[in-house]
Structure 1
Amino acid sequence: MPDVDVVTGTVIRRPVAEVSSYAADPAHAPEWYANIESITWRTDPPVAVGSRLDFVARFLGRTLSYTYEVVDLEPGERLVMRTAEGPFPMETTYTWEPAGPDSTRMTLRNRGTPSGFAAVGAPVMAAAMRRANKKDLSRLKEILES
């Protein structure tokens, strides 16, 4: 089965601490992710290893509900969330690194192994994810640089 592994990045003209604290706060996700309609905390904020969050998203014309668990968090460096639910288990990784005195390179990686019918559409899904991720990072950049 083909794996989906989509990596996108951008440089945001803001310090790492500012970019990472905004992007790593799930409450902000609906503001900069076009496809995310809502998030609900299953555990108490703030985000930490073990945090669980329910996401509702629209992707490829479908409404998807899934629960992410934070499996790795190095504030200002990396956030990794994972879900094992549904036909497409997914891992999402954010990384942040300095890209100059007051700029940050943020990388967004989504990877997973679709099963069943979803596996057939993996290349289409990867292309749609890449487009969505580019748009989302562009929106994040716009919010933080304004």
Structure 2
Amino acid sequence: MVNVQTEIHIDRPRREVAEYAADPGNAPRWYRNIHSAQRLSGGPAGVGSQVAFTAKFLGRELKYTYEFVEFIPGERLVMRTAQGPFPMQTTYTWTDDDGGTRMTLGNSGSPSGFSRLAGLFMEPMIRRETRRDLQRLKSILEGHSQIRP
């Protein structure tokens, strides 16, 4: 079982941070390993919305689809994928924090087969990458960076 949770303070209003982070179209801007994100369902984002991602991890291109399983705008987003050898759940939470926002990013999953062995060394890598991603998000939202417009 992989269970990684990281958090960061972003000096922007919670509504602004949550709207930006919850929009899958912004994912390639702040997730270093995500190269594309495409909504597969129309209408406003909500429970049941699906997003196809293309990412690179450990030198391999990965394609996977996340489904929104819980969405409380401005508070919490839970996305889950059951496909592939490494089913994952990603959770974003946003809370008011000293005039800004505390964003928590959680990733959990239960690898099977070969991926079970990979899971032992993946947790520290996921933790390091999510810290970098949250720092990148902070830089973008606080106006300190012009990363991939």
TM-score band by shorter chain is over 0.9
Identify the residue that residue 42 of structure 1 maps to in structure 2.
Answer: 40
Structure 1 contact 26–47 (Cα < 8 Å) conserved = no
Structural mapping, 1:52-63, within 5 Å:
52-63=50-61
1:94-142 CA deviation, whole Å, 9 max, x = no partner? 00000022x0000000000000101001121111100110000000000
**2: CA distance, partners of 1:65 / 1:142:** 27
SS of 1:39's equivalent in the other structure is: strand
Task: Structure 2: state its 5+ residue gaps.
Answer: 144-149
SS of 1:121's equivalent in the other structure is: helix
> Displacement of 1:41 after TM fit?
1.4
Identify the residue that residue 28 of structure 2 maps to in structure 1.
Answer: 30
Structure 1 contact 87–114 (Cα < 8 Å) conserved = yes
Tell me if 1:127 matches 2:129: no
**1: CA distance, partners of 2:35 / 2:59:** 13
Identify the residue that residue 88 of structure 2 maps to in structure 1.
Answer: 90
> Displacement of 1:45 after TM fit?
4.3
Identify the residue that residue 15 of structure 1 maps to in structure 2.
Answer: 13
> Displacement of 1:29 after TM fit?
0.2
Runs of 4+ in 1 over 2 A off after TM superposition: none
> Displacement of 1:78 after TM fit?
0.1
Q: Choose from 107, 110, 135 the match for 2:107.
A: 110
Identify the residue that residue 147 of structure 2 maps to in structure 1.
Answer: none
TM (normalized to structure 1)? 0.96
User: Please, what is the CA RMSD of the aligned residues?
Assistant: 0.7
Structure 2 vs 1, CA of residues 135 and 45 (structure 1 numbering), >3 Å: closer, same or farther?
farther
**2: CA distance, partners of 1:15 / 1:87:** 38
**2: CA distance, partners of 1:128 / 1:34:** 13
Percent identity over the alignment?
55
Pairs aligned (count): 143
**1: CA distance, partners of 2:22 / 2:43:** 12
TM (normalized to structure 2)? 0.94
**1: CA distance, partners of 2:64 / 2:88:** 10
